[in-house]
Amino acid sequence: MTKEEANGATEEEQQAQSKKALKKQQKEAEKAAKKAEKQAKLAAEQQSAEEDDFAKDRYGVSAMVQSQQKLDRALVRVEDLTPQKVDQLIWLRARVHTSRAKGKQCFLVLRQQQFNVQALVAVGDRASKQMVKFAANITKESIVDVEAMVRKVEQKIESCSQQDVELHIERIFVISQAEPRLPLQLEDAVRPDGDGEEEGRATVNQDTRLDNRVIDLRTTTSQAIFRLQSGVCQLFRDTLTKKGFVEIQTPKIISAASEGGANVFTVSYFKSSAYLAQSPQLYKQMCICADFDKVFCVGPVFRAEDSNTHRHLTEFVGLDIEMAFNYHYHEVIDSITDTMVQIFKGLRDNFQTEIQTVNKQFPSEPFKFLEPTLRLEYTEALAMLRDAGVEMGDEDDLSTPNEKLLGRLVKEKYDTDFYVLDKYPLSVRPFYTMPDPNNPKYSNSYDMFMRGEEILSGAQRVHDPQLLTERALHHQIDLEKIKSYIDSFRYGAPPHGGGGIGLERVCMLYLGLHNVRQTSMFPRDPKRLTP
Amino acid sequence: FKATKNLDALLGKDLGALRDIVINANPAQPPLTLLVLHSLLCQHYRVLSTVHVHSSVSSVPPQLLSCLGPKHADSYARHMFQLGFTLIWKDVPKLEMKFSIRNMCPIEGEANVARFLFKLLAPYPSDAAVATLVDTWVDIAFYQLADGSAKERAAVLQALGSALGHAPWLCGPEFSLADIACYCCLSQNGSTSATAANVQRWIKSCENLGHFGPAKLLLK
């Protein structure tokens, strides 16, 4: 059928076409023949080469690991390759970070997480020429199993984390092959900002990194950041548990927005709609009313603010604390600041390697703090700002630039990157904030700052249902919607306070990074929903 | 003392907030004179005293943490105080004071900070010669008594002896910063025993004033 249809064209045309086609065909056939010849030659060469390759059992692409066998083989970790292991024959699984062939030798840098080591395949009685060639052709980022002899080196290898030893490879098998073209080069991704411009070398921009997050997360910097982040979480838990806190889990799908409906995500919930929680605020308070005394929770928090800034995400991890106190809400401040100080100390003492690694790419001054934490009052902050020439009303909220300026002033005078600002004006805080008994303009609320940026907002809460109703009415909140919340205080509620911290912000500011997306593994913002 | 109670006149206009004096001191060299001046300030003003440890220092002996005495009962309300005295134990080569960061550079050296704090308590003598004499004694105390060699110290002790032959205090009939500085630097070295009768009598008189309690707590 198709041929006949093609015949429908005029004869001349057809002739011309067929002539052209013929020529083309001929050429192609010639090409194919040549190619086949070449391939045959190559195959023959290869075969002959393979035939006299004495080391052909010592390298290759292994069969997919489908758990066929359980080898009794101990794999050494790269970080454990120290001079103590010199002259031992070891097995190792790592990624090929880079490979560089040079005549009869091939240098590989093998990487495992944030550690790397230099390895060498050299033609000799263990490795053949073909094996060296094979090693040189392994694509970057492939995962290999290597058997090698650990050897001491005379000169330190500056480019690797294991500087005192190198590996002399005796066997090398590819466990998982990476595609030859990588969407971004790891070396480009860890290059400090300034360096790239000076040497005319490439750096990778934020969006490319995030689009290829799996590869970006392999960089030493990312590895260090997220190890440190895990440390923050653990120190937070450990410290609070030691203080007698109970960890709670709260629902994230809620029926009413806790602080105004403007910045919540609405989700369809069967026949009605629900919201994604902006904070576990109401639930942790209800736990206090339920006699849990001191609670904390670690979990996702959602903000539907359409702000594309360096420090806002639409979903982040909230570290929330709520506790009952005896007589003064400063008991709560002391508890939270002490927790933060323990975290900072823990990071300073146990995560120095990670901090240094991040500093190599993103240099910043070490994080400084005071113990006990410095506490200033809002009026003092106003006086400092006014002294610096800022015009501000008594009851104005701190704008972001003023917040940063204040951070700098405090750093200059007290040399601390972490401080508490107490006694905020009542008008700038949510309805459940307890007013100051001495001055109704102010409130028993506080913010905490790291490197001049807010990381925690907290307060003593109103635990009296009547005052709470009054405050809610003053803020023009529909009482029906928060009925269950107010009701929980009717049957005896202890005085309490608390606050919530953003995990990503704490990590960002502790390390002196400039974008919260760097400390969020898979960031969500108004413009990013993948990966 | 003829106390100067008008802080506005001394420290400039009131901004409606706590005037906080920040002192960074190395825990290896506790500033005894400043602790003495601190307790004197507490007698004249409502002083909010706080002690912090900076992250550059890993541990500080407990007596240094409590060297400003027990916490004031009102310390939760900073705005109720006239003056803040914030002592930060920090890894600094030289003691420094930060007060009004917009108008003043940080003041270095315990002697200079002591002069500043003393002026909040009492004016310097109006006689230029006596005022200079006070300053000279303060210098001698810190450079030769505290930091000097044994030979220099001996010379200072002799000078003390002769000065105290003429008057009950180092700079005449009135107790001054010279006495505070010399007493503290002398006791820091533990060389209060083998000295002339004059000096011994002066040491007794100093101790009778009862101002040196906080400093003595740190002397071991």
| Residue A270 CA to its chain's centroid (Å) | 34
State the residue for tokens 């040189």. A136
**Measuring CA to CA, which residue among A199, A303, A285 is closest to residue A458?**
A285
Q: Are A287 and A380 contained in the same domain?
A: yes
Q: Are A407 and A475 contained in the same domain?
A: yes
Rounded Cα distance, A204 and A208, in Å: 7
CA distance A352 to chain B (A): 14
**Measuring CA to CA, which residue among B77, B147, B84, B80 is closest to residue B110?**
B147
pLDDT at A258: 62
State the residue for tokens 């323990």. A342
Q: Which runs of consecutive H residues, i.e. helices, occur in B12-61? A: 32-44
Is the Cβ pair B54, A368 closer than 8 Å?
Answer: yes
Contact residues on chain A for B102, CB-CB shorter than 8 A: 387-388
Rounded Cα distance, A347 and A231, in Å: 7
pLDDT at A16: 62
Q: State mean pLDDT over B143-150.
A: 85
Task: Determine, yes or no, domain membership for A297.
Answer: yes
Residues in chain B: 220
Whether the CB of A411 is below 8 Å from some CB of chain B: the reply is no
Contact residues on chain A for B24, CB-CB shorter than 8 A: 415
Cβ B37 vs Cβ B68: under 8 Å: no
**Measuring CA to CA, which residue among B201, B115, B128 is closest to residue B164?**
B201
Q: Nearest-5° angle of CA A168, CA A173, CA A179?
A: 115
Q: Are A394 and A251 contained in the same domain?
A: yes
Q: Which residues of A477-505 are buried (b: 16+ CB within 10 A; e: fewer)?
A: beeeebeebbebbeeebebbbbbbbbbbb
Task: Determine, yes or no, domain membership for A21.
Answer: no
Q: Which of A382, A388, A416 sits opposite B102 (nearest CB)?
A: A388
**Amino acid, res. A415:** D
Tokens of B17: 């907030």
Rounded Cα distance, A347 and B174, in Å: 54
pLDDT at A132: 92
Task: Determine, yes or no, domain membership for A249.
Answer: yes
pLDDT at B191: 61
Whether the CB of A35 is below 8 Å from some CB of chain B: the reply is no
Predicted confidence (pLDDT) per residue in A359-392, tens digit: 999 999 999 999 999 999 999 999 999 989 999 9
CA dihedral A128, A129, A131, A132 (to 10 degrees): 120
Q: Which of A328, A375, A387 sits opposite B15 (nearest CB)?
A: A387
Signed CA dihedral, A245, A250, A252, A254: sign only: negative
Annotated catalytic residues of A are: 303, 305, 311-312, 454, 457, 505
Q: Which of A91-100, A158-167, B3-12, B21-30 has the lowest mean pLDDT?
A: B3-12
Is the Cβ pair A376, B102 closer than 8 Å?
Answer: no
Q: Are A337 and A385 contained in the same domain?
A: yes
Cβ A448 vs Cβ A509: under 8 Å: no
Instruction: Show the low-confidence residues of chain A (pLDDT under 50).
Output: 1-2, 6
Contact residues on chain B for A345, CB-CB shorter than 8 A: 55
Task: Determine, yes or no, domain membership for A2.
Answer: no
Predicted confidence (pLDDT) per residue in B83-141, tens digit: 999 999 999 999 999 998 888 899 999 999 999 999 888 877 788 998 999 999 999 99
Q: Nearest-5° angle of CA A90, CA A94, CA A96?
A: 120
Q: Are A199 and A151 contained in the same domain?
A: no
- Mutate: best of A413, A421, A450, A451, partner B, most B CBs <10 A: A413
ipTM comes to 0.91
**SS3 state of residue B9:** helix
pLDDT at A51: 60
What are φ and ψ of residue A243, in 5° steps? -85, 5
Q: Are A371 and A280 contained in the same domain?
A: yes
Stronger pLDDT, B24 or A261, i.e. the higher one: B24
Coarse DSSP helix, strand, coil percentages of chain B, rounded to the nearest 5 percent: 45, 15, 40
Q: Are A346 and A322 contained in the same domain?
A: yes
CA distance A375 to chain B (A): 9
| Residue B122 CB partners (closer than 8 Å, separation 6+) | B1, B2, B3, B4
Contact residues on chain B for A338, CB-CB shorter than 8 A: none
Stronger pLDDT, B8 or A139, i.e. the higher one: A139
pLDDT at A14: 62
Reported as half-sphere exposure (CB side, CA atoms, 13 A), residue A271 has a value of: 0
Tell me, what CATH number does A95's domain have? 2.40.50.140
CA distance B87 to chain A (A): 10
Is the Cβ pair A380, B18 closer than 8 Å?
Answer: yes
**Measuring CA to CA, which residue among A129, A139, A123, A107 is closest to residue A46?**
A129
Which pTM value belongs to this model? 0.86
Task: Determine, yes or no, domain membership for A91.
Answer: yes
Q: How many domains does chain A have?
A: 3
Cβ A235 vs Cβ A503: under 8 Å: no
Three-state secondary structure of A127-178: CCHHHHHHHHHCCCCCEEEEEEEEEECCCCCCCCCCCCEEEEEEEEEEEECC
**Could you tell me which residues of chain B have a Cβ less than 8 Å from any Cβ in chain A?**
15-18, 20, 22, 24, 50, 52-56, 76-79, 86, 88, 90, 98, 100-102
Stronger pLDDT, B200 or A506, i.e. the higher one: A506
**Measuring CA to CA, which residue among A219, A115, A525 is closest to residue A204?**
A219
Q: Which of B22, B55, B79 sits opposite A348 (nearest CB)?
A: B55
Give the sheet arrangement for strand B47-54, strand by strand. A370-371, B47-54, B83-89, B19-25, B96-98, B107-108
Q: Are A251 and A354 contained in the same domain?
A: yes
Give, for A222, the enclosing helix (H) or strand (E).
helix A220-242
State the residue for tokens 């501000």. A392
Task: Determine, yes or no, domain membership for A105.
Answer: yes
Tell me, what CATH number does A331's domain have? 3.30.930.10
Reported as half-sphere exposure (CB side, CA atoms, 13 A), residue A196 has a value of: 13
Whether the CB of A375 is below 8 Å from some CB of chain B: the reply is yes
Q: Which of B16, B22, B24 sits opposite A383 (nearest CB)?
A: B16
Q: Are A358 and A453 contained in the same domain?
A: yes
Give residue A136's domain range: 72-176
pLDDT at A27: 84
Q: Are A147 and A163 contained in the same domain?
A: yes
Q: Are A144 and A271 contained in the same domain?
A: no
Q: Which of A328, A371, A413 sits opposite B53 (nearest CB)?
A: A371
Task: Determine, yes or no, domain membership for A49.
Answer: no
Q: Are A196 and A290 contained in the same domain?
A: no
CA distance A284 to chain B (A): 26
CB pairs under 8 A between A and B: 66
Task: Determine, yes or no, domain membership for A6.
Answer: no
- Rounded alpha-carbon distances, angstroms, from residue A334 to A124, A447, A448, B214: 67, 13, 12, 27
